[in-house]
Structure 1
């Protein structure tokens, strides 16, 4: 009921209206106030304060009225003890209220210069902040709830095949928890990458999207991304821990034994493949679903989720790249290089946005650094070959360990020929080589692939090193055997591997000819003295003198032959075919000369039919002794004495 002041005011208004000829008998007090509110501000204020039925408030009072209503609704949800999203209708009502509050603020913000409106907007902003805090809590709760329900789905030809049979059922899934109250389910070990992790159920993803949309729209996108990334990082960290990949700093890796690093590289290769082919694409997919239509928030959230794990993976690869460049490390470094190279399309695709540019660029940088490490390892190999000192002669002129090591090393390296071609493709000459590092026709390799140049240079160094080592042998024949053994081994290793196609037929022909020349040198320096005494002396003045000469020559032959066989009985020809070729060659030359000599002896007047008494070795004995050479076992002893 109106007080006395109101009654007087209405009475005056009614009198004025009647005086002006108006008919006020059927008009209510509210009608009277409404008419005069157009003329007098006090009446308009009275009309607003009385909240006349059927009329919307105007001015700041309208904002005040709407704010009071929203405050009652939102505050009740903010103060609720149980999760709002436990009741879908409550969640829907809460979001509607938040939408109304946000719309109200946007509508009235242009009038914020008005003092009464500004005061209301301050209260509205505070209320919105409280609503965002509660939405943040609800978002976190939904994330944690959804993580407990994730599953692995195997896809084939674009369609889901079935739930992963290796994944535990609800009854035994407790084994995946850490027992400390943090129930973060993780993927079991996998055998291929043809799977996608559906980390959250579709219904929860939809709810999270609705919350994210409100938070980002209200200017709380970073807060939403932050709580999202914390939850998903925990999932990734637990998942990586199941891959048994250790967390090592670069310094810690450098202090490890190489055998331990090799083990860690094997684990790292599996982990980075799982990360780039399964974990990160699944996280990208989840991010894009929850932050659908909110690309900036999606990109920021994804980067925050994956940054730590990615840096951990890349730091290990970087530690390998900048570590020791000992030659034995080549093959594992190649494994790391090839892994990152093969995953570069994934790095480019998954980390394509502006927030992930740093991670993408870091992967490229470390990939190049690994290439530098590989080239550096070959420089160390060159130094190893060049500086390998001749501490002692190899017994029997056999295969030198440096030859076996280098050739097997290069053969193994060529199994990664495509990768090495890529690593050396920017090289004009082998690292550390001077302009005259090639000789003669080998300069033609400069027009070949950089890898071919590198390999040829390594073998040029090896050959020079072997020539220096051959000088240790005082016997020139044994020196030739040493070079023959090592040269033959080099040629065979080249022909039987990718080295052959890499270096080409001309290289093989040239070095095969070198081996033949060593063969000729051996025969010339080893058997020329033996063959020399078998030559017939035609200068004898009488048959008696000629017979005496034959007898002396026979004694000399026996002496030289036995000495040569005794000396070479400990020599070694490692290659069966080369050994047979050498025996046949020596036997052919010596047997023919010795047979002719015996024939001349048996026809001489002095010896005649008694010549056999003076012959210690038959032709067959000579051949048997030669066939027993080059085994490195000391031979089988002397020949038989003819009776």
Structure 2
């Protein structure tokens, strides 16, 4: 007899436990019933669900239970009417949450402004941890209350609003309603960012052509506005918006990126595109310092820009900022080269009355001293552009190239080179003066002005004390050359040995020659100037030391009291030694219109 066939493995598997199946279904049905009660209750309410945190917790908890029921039914009873009912409830709940999300964003706009968010986000990272799951914790409210006791009211409201938004976003995203949630968020927050940028003065759609056609005065105003706006835009507006976005959509990195990019990218591109367009415009020396300001602003903010716009979808913002730095750096290098060329090509034959400070000296030194304030930025801009010092460069300006204590930084060398180029031009301008003594006085005045500007600015730090000392020695040499040429005839009119016995005719001749030479020199130099008080005093003291002692000895020997009985003394001895100092005290102001010398007798003083 043939044995019966063995049962198949499928037939041997016991059927699911009716008890287990019933318990799961009952639990899911209970979830649906609870959700129905809570969701239906709030469908007719006009007040905010999140005005009561217990109610909000229950509502979000019911949604989570409803999700579990839907997942169970979709797996085991995909055609069940209960699944349809659960889906309808979920749609109702999502519409409610979407309205709540919108309402919280709108009503808490003042508390969710980027400034408020950025101010407390880093100082209290744990204070904004609330999420969808946090609302299920029994003791969350008590913990929050204790934690928030010491937090200011504005910050407390801001933190609570962020926690509510985060909870809603997590619930909607988990339920598959991310699109509805993010659409509301993007519309509201983008309008806030755009409005903030508008109030900061950030202009949209300002093309390169428009910028190139602007008068410099108009463009400079726009640059100043941009400079005052960019720090606030980056450190407060975009930073706060990134923090808020990260907090609200912490559940999903792609959604965080998508929202932040759509909200901020357009405004950020407009913000960082402006300096690049400025850099592409016409490059003139007058624009140098505003371009450096732009470069410094973007460079200083680069760490924040790189961090805030770290997403791949915001790489265009980072690229725009980097391109702005590149273009601005190129503009600075071009303008500095043009500035040097302009100095070298200066062909003005103008002479400054009285040998004073030349306009070229004032302009160049003011320009270079301002450049010294940007030495750090310039070092960055010229980091990859080494400056080769010409091999025939005068050592008197730079010192020995082997001496490390002399000018060493690339920017210091560049600025010292510009000073040297200008001084070389001044040598040529000095030659225009017909009087050689005045040429030397001109050189002394201008180099003294250079030294003054260096000492009063950051150039003193960049060029160093040794450089200044060398230039001061040159000033003294110029002054000595001036004295030798301008007053040699006066000095030569006196005897080599003023106390030696000579004939009366020789005495008379010396006094006549001295009077003539002194009056000629004084009248000629009465319109000459030495603007620097220190240099002016130095020259006067030097003159007095060279001439007065010799004249005094000669005067006391032949023109003093012993000689008063001689009738020629009255007419020939016109000046006492003190008179010479009095006359010199009036020199180098360039204000003597008459240029005359008043005679005085040995008995009288000097007429003023």
- The match for 2:357 is 399
Classify the secondary structure of the residue corresponding to 1:426: coil
- The match for 2:418 is 458
Cα offset, 1:141, TM superposition: 7.5
1:210 equivalent to 2:165? Answer no
1:275 equivalent to 2:233? Answer yes
8 Å contact from structure 2 (residues 97, 168) kept in 1:
no
1:384 equivalent to 2:350? Answer no
1:257 equivalent to 2:215? Answer yes
- The match for 1:311 is 269
8 Å contact from structure 1 (residues 393, 472) kept in 2:
yes
Cα offset, 1:399, TM superposition: 1.0
After TM superposition, list the pairs within 5 Å mapping 1:325-344 onto structure 2.
325-344=283-302
Query: How high is the TM-score relative to the length of structure 1?
Result: 0.68
- The match for 2:110 is 151
Q: Structure 1 CA distance, aligned partners of 2:68 and 2:212?
A: 56
Classify the secondary structure of the residue corresponding to 1:151: coil
Which moved further from structure 2: 90-99 or 246-255?
90-99
Rate the CA distance shift 1:537–1:588 in 2: closer, same or farther, 3 A.
closer
8 Å contact from structure 1 (residues 396, 478) kept in 2:
yes
8 Å contact from structure 2 (residues 351, 433) kept in 1:
yes
Higher CA-based Rg? 1
Q: Structure 1 CA distance, aligned partners of 2:75 and 2:553?
A: 121
Q: Structure 1 CA distance, aligned partners of 2:174 and 2:543?
A: 93
8 Å contact from structure 1 (residues 562, 638) kept in 2:
yes
- The match for 2:242 is 284
Q: Show structure 2 runs of 5+ residues with no match.
A: 1-9, 12-18, 22-31, 50-54, 126-154, 603-608
Q: Structure 1 CA distance, aligned partners of 2:588 and 2:229?
A: 53
After TM superposition, list the pairs within 5 Å mapping 1:32-47 onto structure 2.
none
Rate the CA distance shift 1:414–1:537 in 2: closer, same or farther, 3 A.
closer
- The match for 1:347 is 305
Query: How high is the TM-score relative to the length of structure 2?
Result: 0.72
Rate the CA distance shift 1:566–1:201 in 2: closer, same or farther, 3 A.
same
Classify the secondary structure of the residue corresponding to 2:451: helix
- The match for 1:357 is 315
Rate the CA distance shift 1:350–1:106 in 2: closer, same or farther, 3 A.
farther
- The match for 1:32 is none
Q: Structure 2 CA distance, aligned partners of 1:552 and 1:302?
A: 97
Q: Structure 2 CA distance, aligned partners of 1:495 and 1:292?
A: 56
Rate the CA distance shift 1:582–1:434 in 2: closer, same or farther, 3 A.
closer
Rate the CA distance shift 1:306–1:202 in 2: closer, same or farther, 3 A.
same
Cα offset, 1:395, TM superposition: 0.6
After TM superposition, list the pairs within 5 Å mapping 1:59-78 onto structure 2.
none
Cα offset, 1:526, TM superposition: 0.7
Q: Structure 2 CA distance, aligned partners of 1:202 and 1:399?
A: 69
1:568 equivalent to 2:525? Answer yes
- The match for 1:8 is none
Q: Show structure 1 runs of 5+ residues with no match.
A: 1-37, 40-53, 57-68, 109-116, 161-193
8 Å contact from structure 1 (residues 470, 479) kept in 2:
yes
1:532 equivalent to 2:492? Answer yes
Using CA pairs under 8 Å that are at least 6 residues apart, name the structure with larger relative contact order, 1 or 2. Answer: 2
Cα offset, 1:536, TM superposition: 5.9
Q: Structure 2 CA distance, aligned partners of 1:103 and 1:249?
A: 58
8 Å contact from structure 1 (residues 151, 199) kept in 2:
no
- CA deviation digits over 1:518-570, x for unaligned, max 9? 011101111112222223699xxx98xx5444434433332222111111000
1:578 equivalent to 2:535? Answer yes
Correspondence for 2:394 among 412, 421, 439: 439
Rate the CA distance shift 1:504–1:149 in 2: closer, same or farther, 3 A.
closer
Aligned residues: 517
Cα offset, 1:145, TM superposition: 5.2
1:638 equivalent to 2:597? Answer yes
- CA deviation digits over 1:358-404, x for unaligned, max 9? 32233233223323333333223323322333241001000112212
1:480 equivalent to 2:440? Answer yes
- The match for 1:59 is none
Cα offset, 1:619, TM superposition: 2.3
- The match for 1:415 is 373
Cα offset, 1:632, TM superposition: 0.4
Cα offset, 1:473, TM superposition: 0.5
RMSD: 4.5
Cα offset, 1:253, TM superposition: 2.9
